[in-house]
Amino acid sequence: MIQTPYYLIDKTKLLRNMEKIAYLRETSGAKALLALKCFATWSVFDLMRDYMDGTTSSSLNEARLGHERFGKETHAYSVAYADYEIDEVVSHADKIIFNTIGQLRRFEKPSAGIIRGLRLNPGVSSSSFDLADPARPFSRLGEWDLAKVEPVMDLISGFMIHNNCENKDFDLFDRMLGDIEEKFGPLLKKADWVSLGGGIHFTGEDYPIDRFAERLKRFSGEYDVQVYLEPGEASITKSTTLEVTVLDKLYNGKDLVVVDSSIEAHMLDLLIYRESAKVSPNQGPHRYMVCGKSCLAGDIFGEFDFPDELKVGDRISIQDAAGYTMVKKNWFNGVKMPAIAIRELDGSIRTVREFSYTDYEQSLS
Ligand SMILES: Cc1ncc(COP(=O)(O)O)c(C=O)c1O
């Protein structure tokens, strides 16, 4: 048995998402790039590479990882590049997408050898959480003003527009794409390619993938553009668990268990967005609040129902633990960092990374 805590990536489950992505690419003509900000565990890139067109990035490090570990097409995007990194970014990328006209002009020369694009912000988004809303008031994410973009069209050949956020609703996607067409139509007509970003949950069970494919194909035909998607969460959803062990039990008006992990250190987004973790099947007569072992009072995975009473030493699988987890894990409280393991297609499990005291020590100085 592998020592907990560890993330367990199940390739069979990952493959289901990959097959949907491949189907969408085939039926819509869109290309799909893995958003490394969400998931960058390169040990499974060998599997993903056959179903996706490449990667997109948010920094020099991600651009380099995408180029070196995934290969195929590498899109570089960043909210802002520094002078000292631009040459290296360009050396790893097929396309570079600038967040502002200011950055595009600043790095016009060093980026002249590759395809360039600009991020547009349509001012509409599916996000209900302002922390994650690219269209929030005064947003720094992309250019808004058609009149300012027109004069730099000779420097760029495409656009990136990321305004979907955990969007499971095709009709909402469709309406917002309509808004984008209305607002930016004249620019789109001059583009060769348009990336519609991530945040579209098209690999979900009930998503109308054929309607989505048809809409993308129609958009591509209307403006004569190559469409790209940048799925992060949609690529890896429901593929991974965080395996933890009960270390202690207590009763403080509710039955609590403390596990050998921490939501703050190992599944930070749940804390940021105030969401509960998931346990499956979450059924039975024994309800427990599952808590992390950091000092944070609110380090709580959630309240779940179990078929049997939990004992110290029992294991719990926290579901859906791939997206924005391994890329965000941290050493808060020095809590043991989860190892990373993979369940292969034949069912065998191998540990691909373990973290030690030295990793903790070396992350500081
Ligand atoms: C520009 C861009 N592309 C892609 C993504 C991936 O989004 P998701 O993981 O929701 O699919 C994000 C997420 O913030 C993003 O900002």
Q: How far is CA 51 from the centre of its chain?
A: 17
Q: What is the pLDDT of residue 250?
A: 98
Q: State the average pLDDT over residues 102-123.
A: 98
pLDDT of amino acid 177: 98
Q: Which of 251, 243, 249 is nearest to 280 (CA)?
A: 243
Burial class of residue 109 in the structure, from the number of CB atoms within 10 Å of its CB (0-12 exposed, 13-18 middle, 19+ buried): exposed
Domains assigned to the chain: 11-235 (3.20.20.10), 240-321+329-363 (2.40.37.10)
pLDDT in tens, 158-173: 999 999 999 999 999 9
Residue 192, annotated ligand binder?
no
pLDDT digits (tens, 9 = 90+) for 258-272: 999 999 999 999 999
- Local structure of 288: helix, strand or coil: strand
* Residue 197 beta carbon below 6 angstroms from any ligand 1 atom: yes
Count of residues for the chain? 365
Q: Distance of CA 219 to CAs 180, 193, 258, 285, Å?
A: 11, 11, 50, 51
Q: How much of the chain exceeds pLDDT 90, in percent?
A: 99
Residue 128 has pLDDT above 90, yes or no: no
The pLDDT of 141-155, averaged and rounded, is 98
- Give the mutation target among 230, 273, 325, 328 for probing the ligand 1 site: most ligand atoms within 8 A of CB: 230
88: pLDDT confidence band, cut at 50, 70 and 90?
A: very high
Residue with tokens 């994650």: 132
Q: 75 C-alpha to center of ligand 1: Å?
A: 13
Q: Is 232 in the pocket of ligand 1 (CB under 6 A)?
A: yes
Report pLDDT digits (tens) over 160-219: 999 999 999 999 999 999 999 999 999 999 999 999 999 999 999 999 999 999 999 999
3-state SS track over 295-326: CCCCCEEEEEEECCCCCCCCEEEEECCCCCCC
Ramachandran sector of residue 305 (left: φ over 0; alpha: ψ -120 to 50; beta: rest)? beta
Nearest ligand 1 atom to the CA of 201 is: 11
34 lines ligand 1 (CB under 6 A): no
Q: Is residue 233 a known part of a binding site?
A: yes
